[in-house]
């Protein structure tokens, strides 16, 4: 298990160290697994974006530990022994996505059993991924921005209005029916523990699992118009809603499909267009549908907010306790701050996973 410990309560003077347990240190160099190619039925729009404007280094090879089940590289996405991880890919956040994948493979005890589902709205990204992870097991799914473009309303930060942010609402439709569960991860994080531990989360009767933060002021995520009208605020009747961050979720896609949660979320987005019931992008619809009905996951699996707030992106400290995942949610991203030579202390923990060609 990987622990991150703080030796200072003040962020400006934080000294952070990473301690690797012997179990992780003893893993042999690993070998990534062969990937499936794009399905023929995926139709991508023509893009003028040059596909190779980024250069990434090739990652080390990662092999399964001795006690892992044998990996069948030809079994496809429906292999029941796979751990499924979904991440979006776009040019703006590509550097973060590559680092996230790198971190997952490095700390996984069975990296050959991790299957990545990449959600894209641009072409050329699969070849960039393959340049860093030549044998990675993955598949690319095209998400049509037009599906949500008319449903998206303005937000406090323009980045939150990008259609690809809403692709997670459609995972149950995009992924194969045989994929019954998936871990959804944002692109601005690193995993510093074995992803299989998160995969084994028990959801019980719930559709999603995530770390909850019940001390947060839940009312701030919705407008006064929302709270003043029973037809809106009544959505939480009989529930004890808590804030959760949608950047790290374990999702039961089988139950999602059965209930039809995508359509429920879309209905709230339609209401938002006419009544302005929230201000913060793709998060509030998830809160409206699931807050108070979330299977709790340890906070160690989403040390979020490291990117500061949605405006200034100021430096933040870690929450107390052990860490399995660091998440730079907020406007400050570690690759931008490192390149500008004005990093926050915790950005140096992201840097070892950065495979960008011009980084040190």
H or E element in which residue 95 lies:
helix 94-107
Total of domains in the chain? 1
pLDDT value at position 280? Answer: 78
pTM: 0.84
Q: Give the integer Cα–Cα distance in Å for 314 and 305.
A: 10
pLDDT value at position 53? Answer: 58
Does the pLDDT value for residue 9 go beyond 60?
no
Sign of CA dihedral 26, 32, 33, 39: positive
Q: What is the mean pLDDT of the chain?
A: 85
Does 342 or 48 have the greater pLDDT score?
342
With b meaning 16 or more CB within 10 Å and e meaning fewer, what string describes 273-308? eeeebbbebbbbbbbbbbbbebbebebbbbbbbbbb
Average pLDDT over residues 205-222: 96
Domain that holds residue 128: 78-298
Residue 39 falls within a domain, yes or no? no
Does 310 or 131 have the greater pLDDT score?
131
Please state whether 14 falls in left (phi above 0), alpha (psi between -120 and 50) or beta: beta
pLDDT in tens, 235-263: 999 999 999 999 999 999 999 999 999 99
Structure tokens at 258: 């059965």
Q: Give the integer Cα–Cα distance in Å for 203 and 13.
A: 39
Residue 7 falls within a domain, yes or no? no
pLDDT in tens, 65-107: 999 987 666 678 999 999 999 999 999 999 999 999 999 999 9
Residue 154's Cβ-count burial label (10 Å; 0-12, 13-18, 19+) is exposed
Structure tokens at 354: 């950065």
Q: Domain containing 85 — which CATH number? A: 3.90.550.10
Residue 163 falls within a domain, yes or no? yes
Does the pLDDT value for residue 49 go beyond 80?
no
Residue 217 falls within a domain, yes or no? yes
Q: Give the integer Cα–Cα distance in Å for 65 and 109.
A: 6
Residue 147 falls within a domain, yes or no? yes
Residue 150 falls within a domain, yes or no? yes
pLDDT value at position 11? Answer: 37
H or E element in which residue 271 lies:
helix 261-275
């Amino acid at each position: 298990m990987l622990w991150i410990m703080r030796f200072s309560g003040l962020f400006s003077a934080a000294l952070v160290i990473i301690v690797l347990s012997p179990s992780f240190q003893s893993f042999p160099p690993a070998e990534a697994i062969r990937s499936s190619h794009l399905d023929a039925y995926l139709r991508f729009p023509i893009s003028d974006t040059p596909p190779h404007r980024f250069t990434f280094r090739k990652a080390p090879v990662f092999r399964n530990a001795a006690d892992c089940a044998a990996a069948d590289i030809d079994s496809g996405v429906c292999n029941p022994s796979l751990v499924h991880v979904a991440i979006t890919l776009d040019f703006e956040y590509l550097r973060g996505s590559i680092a996230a994948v790198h971190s997952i493979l490095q700390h996984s005890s069975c990296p050959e059993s991790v299957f990545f589902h990449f959600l894209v709205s641009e072409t050329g990204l699969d070849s960039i991924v393959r340049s860093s992870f030549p044998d990675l097991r993955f598949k690319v799914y095209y998400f049509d921005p037009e599906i949500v473009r008319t449903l998206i309303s303005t937000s406090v930060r323009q980045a939150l209005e990008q259609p690809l942010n809403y692709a997670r609402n459609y995972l149950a439709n995009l992924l194969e029916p045989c994929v019954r569960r998936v871990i959804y991860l944002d692109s601005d994080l690193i995993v510093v523990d074995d992803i299989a531990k998160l995969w084994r989360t028990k959801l019980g009767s719930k559709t999603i699992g995530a770390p909850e933060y019940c001390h947060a002021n839940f009312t701030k995520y919705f407008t006064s118009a929302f709270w003043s009208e029973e037809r809106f605020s009544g959505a939480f009747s009989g529930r004890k809603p808590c804030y959760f961050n949608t950047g790290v979720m374990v999702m039961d896609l089988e139950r999602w499909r059965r209930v039809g949660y995508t359509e429920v979320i879309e209905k709230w987005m339609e209401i938002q267009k006419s009544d302005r019931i929230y201000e913060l992008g793709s998060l509030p619809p998830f809160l409206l549908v699931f807050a108070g009905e979330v299977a709790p996951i340890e906070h160690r699996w989403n040390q979020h907010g490291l990117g500061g707030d949605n405006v200034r992106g100021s430096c933040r400290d870690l929450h107390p306790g052990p860490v399995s995942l660091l998440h730079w949610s907020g406007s400050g991203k570690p690759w931008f701050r490192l390149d500008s030579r004005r990093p926050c202390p915790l950005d140096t923990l992201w840097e070892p996973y950065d495979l960008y060609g011009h980084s040190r």
